[in-house]
Amino acid sequence: MTTTERRRSMATADRDAARGLDLADHVVDLVRARAPDAEVEVSVRRGSEALTRFATGFIHQNVASEINHVLIRVAVDDGRNASTSVDGPADDESLGRAIDGVLEAARVRPPDPDWPGLAPRGDAPAVDHWDEATAAATPDERASRVREFVDAADGLETAGFCSTTVVRLAFANSAGQRLTGRGTAAILDGIARTPTADGSGRQGSLRLADLDGRVIGDRAARKARDASEPTDLEPGRYEVVLEPDCVANILSFLLVAGFNGKAVEEGRSFARVGEVQFDRSIVLREDVTDPATIGIPFDIEGTPKQPLDLVRDGITSALLHTRRTAKAARTFSTGHAVEGGSSWGALGANLVVEPGRKSTDELVAGVERGVLVTDFWYTRILDPKTQVVTGLTRNGVWLIEDGRIVRPVTNLRFTQSFLDALGPGAVRGISADQALLLGGWDSIYLVPSLHLASWHFTGGARG
């Protein structure tokens, strides 16, 4: 980007931020005009989501939607609070109806002694995970990545999607907190299929230009061919090399039922701050400032996100909090409230597992007898306290013997404590390469592959 283009982009960003903040401030004023003593917070989310979907080697769907979303939360006497939202054009008439309704709802609610109040003034980290070209991406640009993927599969059946997302967020509350942020994201995700196996390839980035359909499609096709004609493997405990999608799946359970302040408060969590609960090689951070991730540097309550070690050298070091769970724990919010997430509590948004020094091939070379797994799916938690989870493998599984992949195996069911699998002495290697994976805008993982000492496969995919 030239200096002139960069200046134009910054000027556009300033105008977009000003428009969002002006609307948020205006809604605060509309609420206070009706209820001068009310506490009020407003989030204005604008942007777009666009998707190009393909199957059997052909694009069959192009869709795009505009996002215009205003979230309003108010609190009146004794912490009585309620929230509402307006989607689409936010004129004074529609906003006025929503405000009247949410104030009435708050007034008939019971008192809330745990109401934590509004976020105070505070600056968010100076990050800008934004790419102007991705924000302006066309269907043709997404289609070109799809074409590259399909061509790289070289005749195999293919399916998947290429998407671009643009988010602009503005926040204001009656306590004086005012913040803006923006972000872009692009994903290419697809499978290639032989008569007996599927292989997957995916990549995420803040820049559409980073997505190389040929590389991603070649990976999917190679996995599909290498996984063809699989044979059964006896159930039992095996070493495993888990690729990044598996690692992200593990983290999703550790976050919701572990590092979540609400889960700890309710006695459902394994987390014990200050104790060695993981292998000494594990470093897990919540960090929106990492240049390889994406996202907005504050949460839906207007609390800034700061880099935070959840696990450092195997020691559980911190928990994630919303304003409500932080009040109960007599600490501070970490900026991890999400819209509609009050029943869940704090959710990690930018999880980073620090990489190691080996390639994934070198991890495989270190396995005496074990299994290489591409993906997990249908994972369900059985016991939050021990993190025992059951699920299936997907999109490529192989037996490793003496450091070599010897044959593909059929999909397997596992029942495994994720906590034990990552516990002291259980991690034998971490890859140097990381993948950026998105489970939604508020669920972003930057993770490597892991070589683990033991994983319990309990049967085939049918039992």
Cα separation, 73 vs 463, whole angstroms: 47
Look at residue 114 and tell me whether its pLDDT is greater than 80: yes
Q: Quote the radius of gyration of the chain (alpha carbons, Å).
A: 24
CB 25 within 8 A of CB 44: no
Cα separation, 137 vs 320, whole angstroms: 35
**Which tens digit of pLDDT belongs to each residue from 193-228?**
999 999 999 999 999 999 999 999 999 999 999 999
Write down the residue that tokens 């999909």 correspond to.
411
SS3 at position 82: strand
Look at residue 400 and tell me whether its pLDDT is greater than 50: yes
Cα separation, 113 vs 250, whole angstroms: 35
Q: Which CATH number fits domain 3-218: 3.30.2290.10, 2.60.40.10, 3.40.50.300, 3.40.50.720?
A: 3.30.2290.10
**Which tens digit of pLDDT belongs to each residue from 316-342?**
999 999 999 999 999 999 999 999 888
CA-closest candidate to residue 192, choices 52, 395, 25:
395
Q: Hey, which bits of 368-423 come out as E strands?
A: 369-383, 388-401, 404-408, 412-417
* CA dihedral sign of residues 22, 164, 334, 321: positive
Instruction: Please give the average per-residue pLDDT across 247-276, as a whole number.
Output: 96
Instruction: Please give the average per-residue pLDDT across 416-440, as a whole number.
Output: 96
Q: What is the residue-wise DSSP string for 403-414?
A: TEEEEEB--EEE
What pLDDT score does 3 carry?
46
Look at residue 4 and tell me whether its pLDDT is greater than 50: no
CB 47 within 8 A of CB 67: yes
Look at residue 100 and tell me whether its pLDDT is greater than 90: yes
Boundaries of every domain in the chain: 3-218, 230-460
How many residues does the structure list for the chain? 463
Cα separation, 8 vs 16, whole angstroms: 12
Cα separation, 129 vs 264, whole angstroms: 32
